[in-house]
Amino acid sequence: MKNVETAYQLLHSALKNVFQKNFQMEVSDSEIQIQKTRKEFEGDLTVVTFPWVKKLGKSPEAVGQEIGEGLQKEISSIERFNVVKGFLNLHFNDAFWGNQFQNVTHLDNFGLAPANSKPRVMVEYASPNTNKPLHLGHLRNIFLGYSVSEIFKANGHSVTKVQVINDRGIHICKSMIAWMESGLNETPESSGMKGDKLVGKYYVEYDKKFKGQVADLMASGLSKEDAEAQAPIALGAREMLLKWEDKDPETLALWSKMNGWVYDGFDVTYKTMGVDFDKLYYESDTYILGKDEVMKGLENGVFFKKEDGSIWIDLTGEGLDEKVVLRKDGTAMYITQDIGTAMLRFRDYPDASSLVYTVGNEQDYHFKVLFKILKKLGLEQAEKCFHLSYGMVELPEGKMKSREGTVVDADDIMAEMKQVAKEVAEEQGKLEGMSETEKDHLHHIIGMSALKYFLLRVDPKKNMLFDPKESIDFNGNTGPFIQYGYVRTQAILRKVEGELSELNYTGELHETERQLIKHLLDLPAAFDDATNTYNPSVLAAYTYDLVRDFNSFYQQCAILREPNNDLRVFRLALTKQVGEVVKKTMNVLGIEMPERM
């Protein structure tokens, strides 16, 4: 069992009965609107009566009154109700909520669906180029993709995390040619640099040289275009790409050596992030497959060939354009590769029902086209493929530009967060008796929680702003705030270990207790919402509110000091449940909970 029968469900069916009995009417599900009662009114749940006002030919107040009385007969736990305008506010008694809570404590895995009870979903995220290090934008991508994977798992799906590594193409050749021309023979070992940083350095080097050469050529009278086409280093890069495609052994050796450095660097970064992958795809493998698929599609009439030999698809019938899928020289492009990768993935995982692509919204159009193509090629799962499109992370001065040096490096920002966590923790001075490695781990957990929460609490669809100067907060609506709330629950529970007996309390509830219970009961709905909308921010908001409710409760109700033992046990059980739920939801966001901080 994932959940107890909710108050919503109860009300829902009771409403149907009321309409049968009082008005001899059937009501459709869509007519029934139940929402939480707003704070300024008295009640727990509110039924909106407007949809029926016309039909019944009565005033909203009269309809509300009548339904309210009917509902009271159906559900004895409805202690009282009031009608304000067309809103029927229902107040359930304390016993009802006490009971609901007790039912939850008996569940094994409240809020979660049984593992692997639903079809497999593949989630692609990260998918970096191999010519430069990861930056803040990647962090949003990676945390988002990881979290969505975990959300699907929590909802019972089998999940395979994949990425496709863009390991070939002109951009890698640029780093390679710059490295060769430098003649320094630098390696990560010799330079002491992280592999991805080293390769990134040569990418920047390339750009510098290129610009210098272009400037020189222009000074000697060439047009900008000609200069760019004739810059020696650009020619070198292109030549290298051709050699690569010809499988020139030396070029291939250099290529795999430098890519290897990058992978080593990425692995370190992924590890710090706390993310992983089940299966990697390399563009250098899949682009050939893509070509095959295009050729097949050409035979089947999905694609057509233009006079110059390039291959196209006509999507004008679907409101899109014509699109090239294979160059006239027969080489693969981005979308060719994507077609191949998709086909290969569904071949590798025939039980997968869909594939989620975590890719920035600048590629919205690309994925529209891709999914149409996949469908035309006869891939059944094409309709269920989903582009998890997310907005850019902007800096105060605008978009990040790697060439202008305005990127926020992933490793740097993570290290910085950890450093801040360390400073705050030392200031607090609550960690005596902890070993240095434990402390180090704790600082890491806290720093990462600030960063992850910061990036995940925003609706993925939207662009968001990151201000390095103000950096990331540790107070208020933040990861560390939630961690602190969790730590507090654990601090309390540690003192009563083994003391938790059966729940026996049936008395009145404090307002903050009712609030807390109601919030806890919303967990399954929050998970559903997050799954349906591919949106971790739903869970971030849910958890933040829960912790606030708990803090409120904690401030106003004695737990350990409560003299009435039944009530004390009840409050301890509440505390425990809050801790478990927070840990669960944060785990899905990839955020670890410390026991002390």
Closest approach of Cβ 11 to RNA, in Å?
Answer: 13
Place of tokens 């971030």: 540
By the rule CB under 7 A, 488 interacts with RNA: yes
In sequence order, what are the beta bridge partners of 161? 123
Q: How far apart are CA 96 and CA 506, in angstroms?
A: 10
By the rule CB under 7 A, 491 interacts with RNA: yes
Q: Can you read off the two tokens belonging to residue 341?
A: 């990768």
Q: Can you read off the two tokens belonging to residue 435?
A: 């070993």
Of the candidate residues 12, 16, 327, 384, the single one contacting RNA (CB under 7 A):
327
Q: Can you read off the two tokens belonging to residue 346?
A: 């569904």
Closest CA to 165 of 122, 128, 200: 128
Which lies closer to RNA via its Cβ, residue 186 or residue 394?
A: 394
Closest approach of Cβ 315 to RNA, in Å?
Answer: 12
Of the candidate residues 26, 250, 329, 502, the single one contacting RNA (CB under 7 A):
329
By the rule CB under 7 A, 439 interacts with RNA: no
By the rule CB under 7 A, 440 interacts with RNA: no
DSSP states along 257-301: HHHHHHHHHHHHHHHHHT---SEEEEHHHHHHHHHHHHHHHHHTT
By the rule CB under 7 A, 225 interacts with RNA: no
Closest approach of Cβ 362 to RNA, in Å?
Answer: 4
Q: How far apart are CA 424 and CA 443, in angstroms?
A: 9
Of the candidate residues 299, 308, 497, 502, the single one contacting RNA (CB under 7 A):
308
By the rule CB under 7 A, 365 interacts with RNA: yes
Closest approach of Cβ 192 to RNA, in Å?
Answer: 29
Of the candidate residues 283, 409, 411, 592, the single one contacting RNA (CB under 7 A):
283
Q: How far apart are CA 594 and CA 222, in angstroms?
A: 63
Closest approach of Cβ 221 to RNA, in Å?
Answer: 26
Q: How far apart are CA 19 and CA 12, in angstroms?
A: 11
Q: Which stretch, 105-113, 265-273, 324-332, 371-379, contacts RNA (CB under 7 A)?
A: 324-332
Of the candidate residues 246, 264, 364, 404, the single one contacting RNA (CB under 7 A):
364
Closest approach of Cβ 430 to RNA, in Å?
Answer: 4
Place of tokens 């409240």: 110
Of the candidate residues 107, 115, 215, 558, the single one contacting RNA (CB under 7 A):
558
Q: Which of residues 398-417 bind RNA (CB under 7 A)?
A: 398-399
Which lies closer to RNA via its Cβ, residue 41 or residue 304?
A: 41
Which lies closer to RNA via its Cβ, residue 296 or residue 323?
A: 323
Q: Which of residues 445-484 bind RNA (CB under 7 A)?
A: 446, 457-459, 461-465, 467, 473-478, 480-481, 484
Q: How far apart are CA 367 and CA 353, in angstroms?
A: 18
Q: Which stretch, 117-125, 200-208, 342-350, 553-561, contacts RNA (CB under 7 A)?
A: 553-561
Q: How far apart are CA 13 and CA 392, in angstroms?
A: 44
By the rule CB under 7 A, 521 interacts with RNA: no
Which lies closer to RNA via its Cβ, residue 484 or residue 505?
A: 484
Q: Which of residues 194-223 bind RNA (CB under 7 A)?
A: none
Q: How far apart are CA 393 and CA 153, in angstroms?
A: 27
Of the candidate residues 9, 21, 38, 304, the single one contacting RNA (CB under 7 A):
38
Q: Which stretch, 22-30, 199-207, 326-334, 407-415, contacts RNA (CB under 7 A)?
A: 326-334
Neighbours of 475 (CB within 10 A): 9
User: Does residue 308 sit in helix, strand or coil?
Assistant: coil
**Identity of the amino acid at 467:** D
Closest approach of Cβ 13 to RNA, in Å?
Answer: 18
Q: Which stretch, 15-23, 40-48, 116-124, 219-227, contacts RNA (CB under 7 A)?
A: 40-48
Q: Which of residues 176-195 bind RNA (CB under 7 A)?
A: none
The answer to whether 134 touches 410, Cβ cutoff 8 Å, is yes
Closest approach of Cβ 150 to RNA, in Å?
Answer: 19
Q: How far apart are CA 450 and CA 471, in angstroms?
A: 10
Q: Which of residues 41-100 bind RNA (CB under 7 A)?
A: 41, 43, 46, 48, 50-51, 54, 84-87, 89
Neighbours of 466 (CB within 10 A): 20
DSSP states along 393-447: EEBTTBS--GGGT---BHHHHHHHHHHHHHHHHHHHT--TT--HHHHHHHHHHHH
Of the candidate residues 5, 216, 321, 383, the single one contacting RNA (CB under 7 A):
321
Closest approach of Cβ 463 to RNA, in Å?
Answer: 6
Neighbours of 57 (CB within 10 A): 9
Which lies closer to RNA via its Cβ, residue 36 or residue 296?
A: 36
Which lies closer to RNA via its Cβ, residue 193 or residue 280?
A: 280
The answer to whether 87 touches 51, Cβ cutoff 8 Å, is no
Closest CA to 161 of 178, 148, 177: 148
Q: Which stretch, 95-103, 261-269, 359-367, 578-586, contacts RNA (CB under 7 A)?
A: 359-367
Q: Which stretch, 67-75, 188-196, 497-505, 557-565, contacts RNA (CB under 7 A)?
A: 557-565
User: Sheet holding 304-305: strands in order across?
Assistant: 304-305, 311-314, 322-326
Neighbours of 108 (CB within 10 A): 8
By the rule CB under 7 A, 224 interacts with RNA: no
User: Does residue 528 sit in helix, strand or coil?
Assistant: helix
Which lies closer to RNA via its Cβ, residue 34 or residue 193?
A: 34
Closest approach of Cβ 114 to RNA, in Å?
Answer: 25
By the rule CB under 7 A, 548 interacts with RNA: yes
Place of tokens 């991508």: 141
Q: Can you read off the two tokens belonging to residue 353?
A: 């029902």
Binding pattern for the stretch 128-167 against RNA, x by CB under 7 A and - elsewhere: -x------------------------------------x-
Which lies closer to RNA via its Cβ, residue 427 or residue 502?
A: 427
For the stretch 207-220, what's the b/e string if a residue is b when 16 or more beta carbons lie within 10 angstroms of its beta carbon? eebbeebbeebeee
**In sequence order, what are the residues at sequence separation of 6 or more whose Cβ sits closer than 8 angstroms to the Cβ of residue 181?**
209, 233, 236
By the rule CB under 7 A, 288 interacts with RNA: no
Closest CA to 494 of 486, 503, 506: 486
